[in-house]
């Protein structure tokens, strides 16, 4: 998985479908990122930040009791143990450092449940930048605690009152706002979506997950490489970062989507937020509202590289239901002492189902990215259990 072809294309997906001023701003981000990524000074500063602030490298944990029950050998890449509790911090610390290098003084971000907003507010505070976070009015009502955390970290939270007043509209509003602020602000997008260069830039920023896991698997597994590599997919950043570490191996790549947010498994070609990819749409081509118990999987589409990997057959995309995810979360809590984020529980739910129906052959080695911890979901779970 290298840099995409001309004009940010992954096959027929990707691109930069944005107003003139944003096309120019995206070009600047791409150039600055290429330069920074090739600069050992930048890479060193970033590696240090990820180590001393975010807690990297994260462990690879064998799930012993669960493996025994399932008849496979399951290893968990523990992004839940990072500062702020999910892989999102990998992306935002890097983008914040890049913004500072570009002389920007402010980060703009969109957020759904607030996890990317909290991570952005955290990175901004750490580096002395301002943060403006766009959030749908409905999400603000549902996620009061994260709104408070962002404000405590010094970020401005802007309520979005258009459309369904959720993530899709918050993203549109953040991009609109960036049009008038490209001179002093960097748009810190939260997944492998949006106009070029974001899909490949964010994947490169998340490949630390896959690269670390590759080294850890080499040390831990007899074969050196797992038979399966599994991750949940919202926009697709934790999966893209994980897959990147194993792209050149025979490992089978599996992305697990929410039944109600299955862009890769069930989306159709369209353009949204500056990018051509697969989106959930009605017969008129209107983007439809996704539904998932896991807020991080509540995006109506998927990043362009995942769409391309699907077409190539290099990765497979499957779906699980809310109930399966909740069941998997409880099972992990009781067998391994880990309460996962409901997003991550989707990946596990597929592993459990596939081990049961033979889709995962007995004895397979499975690397699964545990993208985040479940603290944020306890009130949701409390209602159900
Ligand atoms: C945001 C989030 C996701 C989904 O985002 P991707 O870009 O698909 O990785 C998954 N898990 C957790 C814990 C999240 O916070």
What are the residue boundaries of the structural domains of the chain, listed by start? 8-48+88-198, 58-86+207-384
For residue 95, report the distance from its CA to the centre of ligand 1, in Å. 17
Averaged pLDDT, 238-263: 96
| pLDDT at residue 7, as a whole number | 67
Q: How many CA atoms lie within 13 A of 92 on its CB side?
A: 33
Query: Residue 355 pLDDT more than 70?
Result: yes
Query: Residue 237 pLDDT more than 80?
Result: yes
For residue 222, report the distance from its CA to the centre of ligand 1, in Å. 30
Averaged pLDDT, 144-165: 95
Q: Can you name the CATH fold of 58-86+207-384?
A: Rossmann fold (3.40.50)
| pLDDT at residue 4, as a whole number | 75
| pLDDT at residue 8, as a whole number | 81
Say whether 58-86+207-384 and 8-48+88-198 share the same fold: yes
Average pLDDT for the chain:
96
Q: What is the pTM of this model?
A: 0.96
Alpha helices (H) along 38-136? 40-52, 64-70, 88-101, 115-127
- Annotated active-site residue 88? The verdict is yes
CA pair distance 133, 255, nearest whole angstrom: 28
C-alpha closest to that of 290 among 301, 300, 277: 300
User: What atom of ligand 1 comes closest to residue 192's alpha carbon?
Assistant: 7
Ligand 1, pocket residues at CB < 6 Å: 86, 88, 115, 191, 232-238, 296-297, 341, 343-344, 371-372
Averaged pLDDT, 288-312: 93
CA pair distance 331, 328, nearest whole angstrom: 5
Q: What confidence category does residue 63 fall into, taking pLDDT thresholds of 50, 70 and 90?
A: very high
| pLDDT at residue 223, as a whole number | 92
For residue 371, report the distance from its CA to the centre of ligand 1, in Å. 6
- Annotated active-site residue 21? The verdict is no
Higher pLDDT, 296 or 53: 53
Contact 52, 219 (CB under 8 A): no
| pLDDT at residue 369, as a whole number | 99
Averaged pLDDT, 70-75: 98
CA pair distance 2, 347, nearest whole angstrom: 25
Candidate of 111, 170, 191, 203 to mutate for ligand 1, largest count of ligand atoms within 8 Å of Cβ: 191
Query: Residue 5 pLDDT more than 70?
Result: no
| pLDDT at residue 1, as a whole number | 67
Averaged pLDDT, 358-365: 97
- Annotated active-site residue 110? The verdict is yes
77, 88, 168, 376: the active-site residue: 88
The class of domain 8-48+88-198 in CATH terms is: alpha beta
Please report, rounded to a whole number, the percentage of residues in the chain having pLDDT higher than 90.
90
| pLDDT at residue 313, as a whole number | 97
Query: Residue 6 pLDDT more than 80?
Result: no
CA pair distance 162, 173, nearest whole angstrom: 9
For residue 113, report the distance from its CA to the centre of ligand 1, in Å. 10
| Residue whose CA lies nearest to ligand 1 atom number 7 | 237
Residue 44 CB burial class (10 angstroms; 0-12, 13-18, ≥19) = exposed
Task: Please state which of the ranges 118-132, 134-148, 175-189, 232-246 shows the lowest mean pLDDT.
Answer: 134-148
Residue 105: Cβ within 10 Å count: 13
In tens, the pLDDT along 211-221 reads 999 999 999 99
Query: Residue 202 pLDDT more than 90?
Result: yes
| pLDDT at residue 133, as a whole number | 98
| pLDDT at residue 164, as a whole number | 87
Averaged pLDDT, 338-354: 98
Angstrom distances, CA of residue 20 to CA of 23, 29, 197: 5, 15, 15
Averaged pLDDT, 249-270: 95
């Amino acid at each position: 998985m290298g840099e995409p072809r001309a004009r940010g294309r992954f096959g027929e997906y990707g691109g930069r479908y944005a107003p003139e001023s944003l096309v120019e701003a995206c070009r600047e981000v791409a150039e600055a990122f290429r330069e920074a990524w090739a600069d050992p000074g930048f890479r060193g500063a970033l590696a240090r930040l990820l180590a001393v602030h975010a807690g990297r490298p994260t462990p690879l944990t064998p799930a012993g009791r669960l493996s025994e029950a399932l008849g496979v050998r399951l290893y968990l890449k523990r992004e839940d143990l990072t500062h702020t509790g999910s892989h999102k911090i990998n992306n935002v610390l890097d983008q914040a450092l890049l913004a500072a290098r570009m002389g920007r003084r402010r980060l703009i971000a969109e957020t759904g449940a607030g996890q990317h907003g909290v991570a952005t507010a955290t990175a901004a505070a750490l580096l002395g930048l301002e943060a403006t976070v766009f959030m749908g009015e409905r999400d603000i009502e549902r996620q009061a605690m994260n709104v408070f955390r962002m404000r405590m970290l010094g970020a401005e939270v802007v309520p979005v009152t258009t459309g369904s007043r959720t993530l899709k509209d918050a993203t549109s509003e953040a991009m609109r706002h960036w049009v008038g602020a490209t001179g002093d602000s960097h748009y810190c997008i939260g997944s492998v979506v949006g106009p070029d260069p974001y899909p490949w830039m964010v994947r490169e920023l998340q490949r630390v997950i896959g690269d670390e896991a590759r080294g850890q698997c080499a040390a831990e597994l007899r074969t050196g490489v797992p038979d399966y590599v599994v991750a949940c997919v919202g926009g697709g950043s934790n999966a893209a970062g994980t897959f990147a570490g194993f792209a050149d191996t025979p490992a089978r790549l599996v992305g697990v989507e929410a039944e109600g947010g299955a862009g890769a498994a069930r989306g159709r070609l369209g353009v949204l937020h500056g990018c051509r990819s697969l989106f959930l749409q009605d017969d008129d081509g209107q983007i439809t509202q996704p539904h998932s118990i896991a807020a991080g999987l509540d995006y109506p589409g998927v990043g362009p590289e995942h769409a391309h990997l699907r077409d190539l057959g290099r990765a497979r995309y499957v779906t699980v239901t809310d109930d399966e995810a909740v069941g998997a979360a409880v099972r992990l809590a009781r067998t391994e002492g880990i309460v996962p984020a409901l997003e991550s529980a989707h990946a596990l739910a597929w592993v459990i189902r596939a081990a049961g129906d033979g889709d995962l052959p007995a004895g397979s080695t499975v690397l699964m990215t545990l993208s985040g911890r479940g603290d944020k979901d306890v009130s949701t779970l409390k209602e159900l259990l």
